[in-house]
Amino acid sequence: MVAHTLVETARHPERSDRGSESDSSLDEIAQEKHNALVATLGHHGKDLDNSASPKRWKTFWTSFRHLAHLTPKEVDDFMASYVIYNLDWSDEKKMTEELGPNYQEKVGACLKSYYGVLNHLCALGDVEKMYIPPWMRPKTSVLDNQLLYERSIAHDIGLTKGKKVLDLGCGRGRVAAHMAQYTGAQVTGLNIDPNQVEQATTFNAERGLNNTFITQDFNELPLPFADESFDAFYQIQALSLCKDLPTLFREIFRILKPGSMISLLDWVSLPAYEPSNPEHAELMRRVKPLIGAVGTPTPESLEAALREAGFEVVRSQNASIDGLQAPLIDTVDVYFRTLRQAILALVKVHVLPRHFKTLINRLCLDGQAFVKMDRMRLATTSYSIIAQKPMA
């Protein structure tokens, strides 16, 4: 019953049709959300010093050097990979026309070229963990909102010392490191991009963490794990890259022990989005490449796919304060547009190679379209679902 109420509240939020809101009502909602968060996370929610992230300047320079040494082919492949974000898994005909009958393989190759460069571009800012988190606490940085969100996952899926958890699309293993340090759980991370897997392995080993990382495309099933080998599962913003969600969820169901909890955070279109509305369609066309989404599920389609696989949906809601992620998206956008000005100036005086201009121009395209789409409640990357594999 509680689960039902939460699912329904999320689907029909009172404020979902508002384009903007007064500062005072937002402050009230933010305060309520913050109180709930502190009640859930206790003192851990207040203390975010124990970050698994390294010193920002070191991360920045490591990625900067990597980007400076990209080959022309790596840059060309990165730019060409954007073709997949103009397509959608739901339109197989167009996929086949554009990429040929073995389109799944082609998408996989594009994802590798894209993420092999993108992870370094993102690391130039506060999104080394390549996701904009739910807006959970006002006047708090993107990085700290990420930490808060990750701690809420740990709580929701019951991570404790020794539990085995799978992180699908694990980025550079920074979330995994935070989870292990925060709870003592042991994380297995899975990623299509060997470059990120290598960084994740080194980063976690340097911290003496017993986490492991494997290179694997989650569109290539089965996953290399035995039945019922994990106690929990989470994924952060990787599902739009999954060709067949019901099949993937069935596979996740297989590898989890009965009673295990799972947490999903992802990109979905919301009820206000109308594909036949030209403004909505144009925003979608611009935002998908920016956030790197191929598919655009809805909350209902995600829930249906989970149920079809055997899961029980416990909670389904936008995890951001008042369903609004825009303040954090805007912060990231402003940062990267400022960085772009500096990069363009340095390219102009030949201090930086020309390909920096190509990369930063592509990265900075359409950030404000994302802010607008979020404010109009047309789509979000902060939709959260908690589900459970029933007890045997």
Is residue 380 close enough to count as binding ligand SAM by CB under 6 A? no
Contact pattern from residue 218 through residue 257 relative to ligand SAM, giving x for each residue in contact according to CB under 6 A and a dash for the rest: xx----------------xxx--x----------------
Q: Are 263 and 311 in contact (CB under 8 A)?
A: no
Is residue 217 close enough to count as binding ligand SAM by CB under 6 A? yes
- Rounded least distance, CB 349 to ligand SAM, Å: 33
Strands 186-191 and 256-269: unpaired
Q: Are 70 and 109 in contact (CB under 8 A)?
A: no
- Rounded least distance, CB 178 to ligand SAM, Å: 10
- Written as six digits, the tokens of 388 are 């459970």
Nearer to ligand SAM (CB atom), residue 130 or residue 252: 130
Backbone φ and ψ for 188, nearest 5 degrees, come out as: -110, 120
- Rounded least distance, CB 38 to ligand SAM, Å: 25
- Rounded least distance, CB 41 to ligand SAM, Å: 20
As a whole number of angstroms, the distance between CA 179 and CA 176 comes to: 5
Near ligand SAM by CB under 6 A: residue from 131, 135, 230, 233: 131
Is residue 352 close enough to count as binding ligand SAM by CB under 6 A? no
Is residue 182 close enough to count as binding ligand SAM by CB under 6 A? no
Residue of minimal Cβ distance to ligand SAM: 171
For residues 258-297, which are near ligand SAM according to CB under 6 A? 292
Near ligand SAM by CB under 6 A: residue from 171, 299, 327, 367: 171
DSSP labels, 122-160 = HTTTT-SSSSPPP--STT--HHHHHHHHHHHHHHHTT--
Is residue 117 close enough to count as binding ligand SAM by CB under 6 A? no
Is residue 209 close enough to count as binding ligand SAM by CB under 6 A? no
Q: Are 355 and 75 in contact (CB under 8 A)?
A: yes
Nearest to 226, CA basis, from 192, 191, 188: 188
- Rounded least distance, CB 192 to ligand SAM, Å: 4
Q: Which residue has the tokens 């689960």?
A: 3
**Distance between terminal CA atoms of the chain?**
21
As a whole number of angstroms, the distance between CA 297 and CA 264 comes to: 13
Strands 212-215 and 312-318: unpaired
Near ligand SAM by CB under 6 A: residue from 191, 296, 318, 382: 191
- Rounded least distance, CB 278 to ligand SAM, Å: 28
Q: Work out the burial of residue 3: count CB atoms within 10 Å of its CB; fewer than 13 is exposed, 13-18 middle, 19 or more buried.
A: middle
Nearer to ligand SAM (CB atom), residue 109 or residue 369: 109
Is residue 193 close enough to count as binding ligand SAM by CB under 6 A? yes
Rg of the chain (C-alpha set):
20
Nearest to 234, CA basis, from 190, 193, 197, 198: 190
Q: Which residues bind ligand SAM (CB under 6 A)?
A: 111, 115, 129-131, 169-171, 175, 190-193, 196, 217-219, 236-238, 241, 292
